[in-house]
Amino acid sequence: MAENQDPIGSSTAEAPPAEDGLVDAVLVERRGISMVWLVPAVAAVVGAWLAYTALTQRGPSITIRFESAAGLEANKTRIRFKDVEVGKVEAIELSDDLSRVDVHARLGKGAERYLTDQTRFWVVRAQISAGQISGLSTILSGAYIGIDPSTEGQPANNFVGLERPPPFTSDVPGRTFKLRGDTLGSLDLGSPVYFRWITVGSVVSYELDPEGDHVTLEVFVREPHDQRVRENSRFWNASGLDVSLSPEGIQVDSISLASILVGGVAFETPRLPIPAPKANEETVFRLYPNKRAAKRPIIGIKVPFQLHFEQSAAGLVAGSPVDFQGIVVGQVRDVSLTFDERILRPRISVLIDIEPERVRVTDVEISRERWREIWDAMVAQGLRARLSTHNLLTGQLEVNLDFHPGASPAEIDWEARIPEIPTVPSPIEELKAGLGEFMAKINALPLEPIGRELESSLARLNAVLRDLEQTTPALTGALERAEQTLGSIEELVAPDSQASVDLKRALREVADGARALRLLAEELEQKPEILIRGRP
């Protein structure tokens, strides 16, 4: 009997019929592997391949330390560079000392070469700083960690995250420079840097010097504007309004409304016939408080002098100008009150700095001895220092050097610790002194006797006035009679009156008689014999 093939491929032999006519089945065991085991085998191979691929494509694991984990979530927060996801936060835990938060993250494959001690991480959130709004997209998507990769430096896996986004990233070309100023003002991280009122950079960092006397700032200037920073460039704080009152009037200088609110740093490079060399990143520039201070010439030599005044110095402060006939030649360094044991009374002591570089001289170089001879000659000619008003509105004073030929003789003691220039009172003090002398003379007058004599004179004058008042009616009648008399005289001398006509006729007759006498006299002078002989 032939064999039949079953549906699953197993073969069975046909059994002989039983006595009851039924056939008994006979099972035949098949040798080999069943196709059922192929599915898990393939699954195992695929899983191994995926595990191998995951291990080989797995990036480095890093730890970033932040002040807090605000906005960060494990297995959710991403790490992005230029809005491209390059990693993911895996775990967040507190540091051992509970002062910070350690964020464990993993980056993509190939990120090892960009993880150095120069690489920076920060949390990107929606925030407003230095007049700029950033991270608005995180309001809906949530915060993420930004990265600024760098290939410079030593490889690293542990980092300290920045609390604020950096003003610039390493892929922005440019250079950084250091500034040193007295105060920070309203400057902050990200404050703009201006050149000719165009934003060319920003403030990167700032710190207080160990001595606590100055503040050092680091600014970043983008290309190509960083080439405009020369060794003679001047930086100043452009924050707020710079209001100055000068002989030209009130001057207000401000870059923009943003600079008033958030501050900024501006710089300019003076034009010279031979441009100064380009500044390197090690150059430390001075940060001036305003543009006016930055425009002042840099003076290298300062000669100190001492001044003493016996008058009020209200309005004279450190920095007030010292001028010679209207030209600024120095400035006041210090104003103090000193007690002079020689005269046993306090005086105002003023320390000034004379800047010889502001004065042009005919000689190429002046020696120290020649310098002293010049000052001795000027003092001998009457050079004196006095206080004068520099600004009428503010009441600010200045030290004025000028010649006063009538001043008392004086000399400069060059052996003293600080040479002293003789002084004279200010015009106001001279006026006060004159008024004082005048008042002293007034006080010296015998006012009481003069008052008594004046009182008696007034009494006599009152008596005279009373007598005059009594004689007033008589005087009135006399005046009336005089008026009548004058009227009569006026009628008498009127041109058409009879008296006037008779008077004129008489005057003509007198004139005719005088003329006849003159003719007779002339004739007698020529012919005196007619007195004896008579006329022929």
pLDDT tens digits, 431-444:
666 666 767 777 77
Omega within 30 of 0 (cis) for the link into 224: yes
pLDDT tens digits, 339-385:
777 767 788 889 998 887 777 665 556 677 888 888 889 999 988 98
Angle, nearest 10°, between helix axes 472-492 and 447-470? Answer: 60
Give the pLDDT band of residue 291 (cuts 50, 70, 90).
confident
Tell which residue, 151, 127, 121, has the closest CA to residue 139. Answer: 127
Q: What are the helix and strand counts (H, E) for the chain?
A: 10, 26
Does 235 score more than 90 pLDDT? yes
Does 499 score more than 90 pLDDT? no
Does 79 score more than 70 pLDDT? yes
Gap between the Cα atoms of 385 and 326, Å rounded: 13
Residue where the block lists tokens 């403030």: 203
Residues facing residue 353 across a β-bridge: 304, 331
Task: Determine the Cα angle at 133 with ends 130 and 136, to 5°.
Answer: 155
Gap between the Cα atoms of 190 and 128, Å rounded: 11
The 3-state DSSP class for residue 430 equals: helix
Cα dist from 457 to 122, 171, 448, 466, whole Å = 101, 104, 14, 14
Gap between the Cα atoms of 265 and 203, Å rounded: 8
Does 7 score more than 50 pLDDT? no
Global pTM exceeds 0.75: no
Query: What pLDDT sits at residue 523?
Result: 74
Query: What pLDDT sits at residue 533?
Result: 64
The whole-angstrom distance between residue 508's C-alpha and the CA centroid of its chain comes to 100
Query: What pLDDT sits at residue 18?
Result: 53
Within 10 A of 312 (CB to CB), how many other CB atoms are there? 13
The 3-state DSSP class for residue 413 equals: coil
